[in-house]
Amino acid sequence: MRIDIITVLPELLKSPFEASILKRAIEKGLVEIHFHNLRDYTNKSYNQVDDYQFGGGAGMVMMIEPIDACISKLREERTYDEIIYMTPDGETLNQNTANQLSLKENIIILCGHYKGVDQRVRDHFITKEISIGDYVLSGGELGAAVLCDTIIRLIPGVLGNETSALTDSFQDNLLAPPIYTRPSEYKGWKVPDVLLGGNFPEIEKWREEEAYKRTKQRRPDLLNDQEED
Ligand code: ADE
C-alpha cells in the first residue's frame, strides 16, 4: 500500500512514522508513506497557499491551484483508490472505515488548515471526507496520523501476531474484554479464576460474555448498530 500525504506542515507528521509498528511496517515494505509539501506546488510569492474568503469573514482558505497541481502530478504517476480530505465535518472515523481503507492500493490524504480548503477542491477532487471526532484540531495532520495508524496496523503482516488485530475493540462491533498478565494476585487483587484454568472453550466463552457486558455498559450504541446491519 502507498499513502501520499499532502500538507503544509510535513514536520508535524513525520515522527509517528519513525517509531514502533508504523516504522516496522515501512521497513518491511508493507507500506510506503510520501509527504508532499503544498508550498512546493505554488507559484505565488512567499509560497502562499491560502487567501482571504470571498464574501468576507475571519480566517484564510486554502487555494485550489497548489492542491490541484499536487494531486494532478500524483495522478499522472498512478491511479488512486481514494482521495481523502481530513475535516471535522467529514464522516467520523470508525473501525469499519479503517478495515475498508486497509485493503486499498493507493490513497491520498489531504490535510486541511486555516478555515479549510476552497469548496471546489472538495467537489472535484475529494472522494472521501474523514473526521477523527467531534472536536476541532489546528490542522488535519494529527487526524491524518491517526487515520494512517488505524489503517496500517490492519495490513496483513504488520502486526506480529496476525490475530491480534482481529481481537481488538470494535472488530465485530464489540469492545475488547478485560485482559490480565502476571502476577495472578497483586495486593490481594486476583485475576479471574477462569483465565488461569487452561480450559480454552470456557475462556473464550468468558471473554465473549465480558465483551458483551462491557459494550452494553459503555457503548450500547454499538449493539444497536449491529442490529441495524
Ligand atoms: N481537522 C480539524 N479538525 C479535524 C478533525 N476533528 N478530524 C479530522 N481533521 C480535522
Closest atom of ligand 1 to 133 CA is 6
Domain of 186: which CATH number? Answer: 1.10.1270.20
112 lines ligand 1 (CB under 6 A): yes
* Structural contact between residues 113 and 162, judged by C-beta atoms closer than 8 angstroms: no
Q: Mind listing the pLDDT tens digit for each residue in 63-96? A: 999 999 999 999 999 999 999 999 999 999 999 9
- DSSP assignments along 58-105, one per residue: SSEEE-HHHHHHHHHHHHHHS--SEEEEEEEEEEEP-HHHHHHHTT-S
Q: What is the pLDDT of residue 163?
A: 63
- The answer on 187 and 104 residing in a single domain is no
Q: Which helix (H) or strand (E) holds 120?
A: helix 119-124
Q: Give me the residues of the chain with pLDDT under 70, please.
A: 162-163, 226-229
Global model pTM greater than 0.95: no
* Ligand 1 atom 5, closest CA: 88
Q: What is the pLDDT of residue 162?
A: 58
Q: What is the pLDDT of residue 228?
A: 55
Per DSSP, what are the bridge partners of residue 106? 2
**Number of structural domains found in the chain:** 2
136 lines ligand 1 (CB under 6 A): yes
The boundaries of the domain holding residue 195 are 169-228
- The answer on 102 and 49 residing in a single domain is yes
Q: What is the pLDDT of residue 169?
A: 80
Closest atom of ligand 1 to 134 CA is 6
Domain assignment present for residue 48? The answer is: yes
* Ligand 1 atom 8, closest CA: 131
7 lines ligand 1 (CB under 6 A): no
Q: What is the pLDDT of residue 167?
A: 77
116 lines ligand 1 (CB under 6 A): no
